Structure 1
C-alpha cells in the first residue's frame, strides 16, 4: 500500500505542476511541491511505525512463518523500512522536476542510486575484501544507502540551483487547503488505479504460474526482454506531461493537441521499430538462459507476441498519459485498472482455468486484449475532453 499511495499523490499533483508551470504561476508550483512533500511523508511515517512495531505480522501475512523466507523477510523489512522516507522525499523532487523539463536531474539521481545499490549488493550480500557477507540484510542495507545517496543528489542540486519551486523552507509547511482538495480529487482515482491494476497483474501471473515452472520461466524471460516497450512508453509519458500539460496550463490548446498528436504518431513509429528489434533478439536471447530447449522455443514465441503487440501497446499508453495530463483521471482508471478487471482478468481466468489453454495461446489471448484497449483509448482521446486548463 505504501508505494501506490506515494505514486498516486505525486502523479496527481504532477498534473497541476505542469499546468501551473505553463501558466507561469510559480507560487502554485511551490504549493504543489509542498503537497508532494508533506502528504507522502506523513503516509510514509505511518507505514514506518507499523513496520517497526509489527514486522512479523506483515511478513506473516504473505509467507508461512515456518519457512526460511519468513525469517529472511522479517530481517529485510526491519532494515529496508528506513529507506521509505528518503524514497518519499526523492519522489517529490522527481515528480516536480520532470514536468519542469528538468528530466536530466532525476536521471542523474537514479543513476547514482542504482550504481550505489549494485556496488553495495556486490560487497554486502556475499562479502568482499573487508566487507562481511550479510546476505539478505546486506541487500536491505544497500537499498537504504542507495536511497539516501539518491536523496543527497536532489538536496545538493536544490540548494545549488534556483528552481521555480524553490522558496523558504518554512513556506513548504504552509498548506493551501483549497489546492489540497483540488489535488486529491485527482489523486484518489489514481490511487485506486494503482492498487487495482497491481492486484489484477498478480491474478494474471498466478494464472500463468498455475501451468508449471517451465511456463513461469517463459513469461518471466519474455517480460524482462520486453521491458524496452514499457521503458520507452514511460519516457513518452513524461514527455506528454511536459509538452501537453504545460501548454494546457497556458491555455495553448492548439499547441497541446499538436504535441499530443505528434507523440501519438511518434510512439506508433517507435513501436514498429521495437517490433523489428524484439523479433530479431527473440531468436538469440533465450540461448543465454540455462533452460530446456523446449522452454527456449516457447520463450522465443512469447517474445514474438510482445514484439508484434508493441505498436498496439504504445497506442494504448500515449492516450493514457495525455488523458492524465488533462486531468481525466476517471478515464485513466477506466483504461487501466477497470479494463484489467472487466476484460483482461476474465480472459486469463476463462482461458487458463476453464478452457485449459497451454501457455502460448493463453498468453496470446491475454495480450490480444490490448487491441480492444487501444480502440477505447483512441475513442476517448479523439473526444478531446482532455484539452482542459485545470488552473483557470
Structure 2
C-alpha cells in the first residue's frame, strides 16, 4: 500500500504556513519593488524599459550571488538552530558577511568603472547601452548594503524568524516607490531624472534597509550578536562554510550567469528591443508567480535542516521531504491555473498595453506567458527540491549539478541555436528557455529517493 506522505502530525501544516507566510510576503514585497521599478520606467517608453531590462541582467547576477550566500548560510544555521548552538550561528554569519560584502563590493566597483562595457556584453543596441550605463553604475553600489542586510535577515529566517525580513523589505519597498515617483518624474520640486532617478531611489532604499536591519540586530536577544564570534569566526567555520556554501554560491552564480546569457541572446536577436520588453514583463510575472514556491522552499529548508540537526532518522526526514514537495507541486498547479485565467482576461487587454507592449512585443509576451504556464508546476517542484530539500540536507554539490546541467547543457545551447542561428519562431525560442524544468524533475527525484542527500553537518563548538 502506498504511503500517504501528506498525513502529518497535528499542527504541522499550521506550523508550515506560519513559517512560509512571512517568507511569501517578503518575496512578494521584494518582487513588488522590482515591478514598481519596471512599471514606472515603462511609463517613460519601450526604449527605457528595454534599457533597464538589459542593465538589470548583470545586477541580477549580483542578486543571485547574494542569494547563494544566504542559501549556503541556511544550510548551516538551520541545522545549528536545531542543535541550539547560537555561537556557531554567529560564526557562520560572520563568514557569510566577510565573503558576501567583499564580493558585492568588487562587483559594484566593476559596474561603477566600466558600465558601458558591461552593458555592451548584454546588448549591441547603442541606444540601450547609452541609456542603461548610468543606471548600472549607481545601482551596483546599492548591493553592498543589500548583501550585509541579506545575510542577517537570512540568519533570522533560518532560525524561524522570517518576520524581520518581511518588515524590513516592506519599509524598503515603500521608500523606494516614493522616491521613484519623485526622482523619475521630477515631483515635489525635484529634477526629472528618468532612469537615473530610479537608480538613486534604489540606492537610498538599500541604505535605509541596511540601517534598519542592523539596528534590530543590536537589540535582538533571541539570537544575540556575539561580536567576537562573528568578527573572528575561525578557520574551521570558514572551511565549513566553503564546503557547504561554495557549491550553492557556484550554483547560484552560474545559474544567474546562465540567465544573463539568455538575456544577452535575446539582446542580440533581430527583434531584440521587442523581445527584451516582453521579457521584462514576463520576468515580473515569473517573480510574482513563484513567490509562494520560494516561500515554501524556504520554509522547507528550515524544517528539514532543523529536523536533521535534532537527530531525526533518514526515513523520517525522507517522508517529511516528500510531503513538502507534494505541497509545492499542488501550489504550482494552482498558480498555473490562475495565470491561465489572467492571461486572456487581464494581461492581454490591460497589463501589456499599460507597459506599451503592442504588435510584435505584445504577441511575444503572450507566447512567453503561455509556455510559462505549462512549465510552472514542474518549476515549483524543482525549486523546493533543489533550493529547499537537497540543500538543507547538506547535499549542495549534487543539487548544483541537477540545477545547472539542464540549464547549460540544454536550455542555453538550444536558445542560442533557435534564437540566433535558426531564427526560429518565437514560441520555439520560449520553449527552449523553459525546457530546463523538464530535465530537472527526474534527476531531482532520483537523488531524493537515494536518501544520500541526508547529512548532519553540524560539529561540536570548540569553545
Give TM-score scaled by structure 2 length. Answer: 0.76
* d(CA) in 2 for partners of 1:325, 1:174: 25
Encode CA deviations 1:86-116: one digit per residue, 9 max, x unaligned: 2121011121011111111101111111111
Deviation at 1:356, TM superposition (A): 3.7
Q: Indicate conservation of the 8 Å contact 1:56/1:74, yes or no.
A: no
Alpha carbons of structure 1 residues 77 and 356: separation in structure 2 relative to 1, 3 Å = closer
Query: Which residue matches 2:412?
Result: 345
Q: How many Å separate the matches in 1 of 2:212 and 2:360?
A: 47
2:199 maps to what in 1?
Answer: 140
Task: Tell me the distance in 1 between the aligned counterparts of 2:115 and 2:363.
Answer: 40
Closer/same/farther in 2, CA of residues 98 and 137 from structure 1, 3 Å limit = same
Aligned to 2:51: none
Instruction: Give me the whole-angstrom Cα distance separating, in 2, the residues matched to 1:217 and 1:304.
Output: 17
Residues 22, 157 of structure 1: alpha-carbon distance in 2 compared, 3 angstrom cutoff: same
In the TM superposition, what whole-angstrom CA distance separates every residue of 1:56-106 from its partner, at most 9, and x where no partner exists?
A: 434334349996766665644554454233212101112101111111110
Q: Which sections of structure 2, spanning at least 5 residues, go unmatched?
A: 1-60
Instruction: State the partner residue of 1:275.
Output: 336
Kept in 2: contact 1:125–1:139 (CA 8 A): yes
User: How far 1:205 sits from its partner (Å)?
Assistant: 3.5
Distance in 2 (CA, whole Å) between partners of 1:224 and 1:78 is: 22
Q: What secondary structure is seen at the aligned counterpart in 2 of 1:125? A: helix
> Does the CA-based 8 Å contact 2:87-2:226 persist in structure 1?
no
Matched residue, 1:305: 371
Correspondence for 2:142: 83
Please say if 1:121 is aligned against 2:180. yes
Q: Does 1:35 align with 2:102?
A: no
For residues 180-210 of structure 1, the C-alpha deviation after alignment (integer angstroms, 9 at most, x for no partner) is 1111122322232223222322333444452
Selected match of 2:434 from 352, 367, 373 = 367
* TM-score of the superposed pair, with normalisation by structure 1: 0.88
Name the counterpart of 1:108: 167
Whether the aligned pair in 2 keeps the contact of 1:287 and 1:296 (CA below 8 Å) is no
Q: CA separation in 2, counterparts of 1:181 and 1:129?
A: 52
Match of 2:258 in 1: 200
In structure 1, the partner of 2:119 is 62
**Of 128-137 and 95-104, the range deviating more from structure 2:** 128-137
Which of the numbers 317, 341, 344 marks the counterpart of 2:383? 317
1:14–1:99 contact (8 Å) kept in structure 2:
yes
> What is the aligned counterpart of 2:248 among 190, 205, 210?
190
Stretch moving more, 139-148 or 68-77: 68-77
For residue 68 of structure 2, the aligned residue among 8, 18, 26 is 8
Alpha-carbon contact 1:9-1:184 (below 8 Å) kept: no
Query: How has the CA–CA distance of structure 1 residues 90 and 294 changed in structure 2, closer, same or farther, with 3 Å as cutoff?
Result: closer
| Aligned partner of residue 193 in structure 2, secondary structure | coil
Distance 2:118 2:366 in 1: 36
Gaps of 5+ in 1: none
Residues 228-251 of structure 1 show CA distances to partners (whole Å, capped at 9, x for unaligned) of 332222112211211111111111
CA distance in 2, matches of 1:372, 1:160: 46
- CA separation in 2, counterparts of 1:211 and 1:383? 46
Q: CA deviation at 1:333?
A: 1.6
Cα distance in 2, alignment partners of residues 231 and 110 from structure 1: 14
Give the secondary structure class of the aligned counterpart of 2:290.
Answer: helix
Tell me: CA distance 1:33–1:202, structure 2 relative to 1, closer, same or farther (3 Å).
Answer: closer
Match of 1:264 in 2: 325
Could you tell me which residue of structure 2 aligns to residue 378 of structure 1?
445
Equivalent residues, number: 388
After superposition, the Cα gap between the structure-2 partners of 1:349 and 1:125, relative to the gap in structure 1 and judged at 3 Å, is closer
